[in-house]
Amino acid sequence: MATTSATTFSIGSTVSFGSRGNPLPQSKPFVARFTSPNSLASFSGLKAATYVNCESESSFFGKESSAALRGSFVPKAQKANQKSQYGLQPVASYKVAILGAAGGIGQPLALLIKMSPLVSALNLYDIANVKGVAADLSHCNTPSQVQDFTGASELGNCLKGVNVVVIPAGVPRKPGMTRDDLFNINANIVKTLVEAVADNCPDAFIHIISNPVNSTVPIAAEVLKQKGVYDPKKLFGVTTLDVVRANTFVAQKKNLKLIDVDVPVVGGHAGITILPLLSKTKPSVNFTNEEVEQLTVRIQNAGTEVVEAKAGAGSATLSMAYAAARFVESSLRALDGDGDVYECSFVQSDLTDLPFFASRIKLGRKGIEALIPSDLSGLSEYEEKALEALKPELKASIEKGIAFVQKQPVTA
């Protein structure tokens, strides 16, 4: 990347300055500008030497992040200017494992995570074809060291000492296939992988992407319970794609700057269980009844939109990888001490009468610090009815996942 007097660099999910670069986790991008006496002398990958004049654009965070980021960074930069000849030194210190790294989601997800300045080690696992993916990624000049692991015999080594486990493994949807059709195959895959997580890195954050998430997250919870290591604060169903889609579609529909838009999405991660709370859109915007219905249906069916457009060649892989990378980066910042990280996720919850529910959560070093109930208050009449309508289907999916594990006890 060329060096100029005002260098611009973009790192997919975030730019982390030092070990405590504290951007907020909102779903909107931001631009942060920092000035210092000298320009960038050298830049290699994510490692900047001497002082930096930079403009960074991150596609994951909102404009309100800049104040918090400046508040965190500027005093440190000033102190660094007084004490050291070096300015910004992104510190990579976390180990991430992707289980299913050779697949359609796994490969772009691995690339995005490889770009994170917070990752020191990236372990890639799959049952086949992962060695080439790892070799390819290892040529990228970013801090994380890439290792590949193939087959069940190497799964344990892949997981040892890992801080965040991401599970996109499974078969994708094909035309005419519902998420429920995926259940029998993907349920067993998730069960097997989570057993290995329980045995090798029980304290890790676990991110479940494998569909149907409404069932696979309860499956993971039951496995961890039977293994005696279940921590509900560290198990997440990745529903970030629903938020990403909602933000995109609303911005397009209402001609808004995408950087400004934030739409919370609650419920589950399939069909009518996906409930975008358009009445809670930020910035505040008015929708006609027709617009609400059209947008809600499009967000709910966006996965099918991609499946049909690919005409049998796959499902949503790139957008899912993008959304999952955003959630991983939020988790890493929370682990790194960022005190203001919020995302929507499908987790164990008491916000409704369902045992699992997707809502906005606050993330911290120990996982979920708080569920955010305010999004569920003051809903529109349409949203109230939709919330009640989704509950039976979501309840059935949760119970299906639980029953699957109870019928097939985990191995000791």
Domain with CATH 3.40.50.720 in the chain: 92-236
Fold of 238-392: L-2-Hydroxyisocaproate Dehydrogenase; Chain A, domain 2 (3.90.110)
The pTM of the full predicted model, rounded to 2 decimals, is 0.81
- State the span(s) of the chain assigned CATH 3.90.110.10: 238-392
Q: Which CATH number applies to 92-236: 3.20.20.140, 3.40.50.720, 3.90.226.10, 3.40.50.300?
A: 3.40.50.720
The pLDDT-based confidence of 25 (bands split at 50, 70, 90) is: very low
Q: Does the pLDDT at position 306 exceed 60?
A: yes
Q: Please state, rounded to an integer, the average pLDDT across all residues of the chain.
A: 83
pLDDT for 401 beyond 60: yes
pLDDT at site 307: 87
269 is catalytic: yes
Per DSSP, what are the bridge partners of residue 124? 98, 148
347-352: long-range pairs with CB below 8 Å, 24+ = 347/217, 347/232, 347/235, 347/236, 347/237, 347/371, 348/221, 348/232, 348/235, 351/376, 352/376, 352/387, 352/391
**Among 95, 173, 207, 269, which one carries the catalytic annotation?**
269
List the single range of 79-83, 88-92, 261-265 with lowest mean pLDDT: 79-83
Backbone angles phi, psi at 118, to 5 degrees: -95, -10
Find the mean pLDDT for residues 298-320: 92
Q: What is the pLDDT of residue 338?
A: 94
DSSP secondary structure string for all residues of 14-52: ----GGG------SS-EEEEE--SS---EEETTEEES--
Ranges 18-32, 228-242, 346-360: which has the least confidence: 18-32
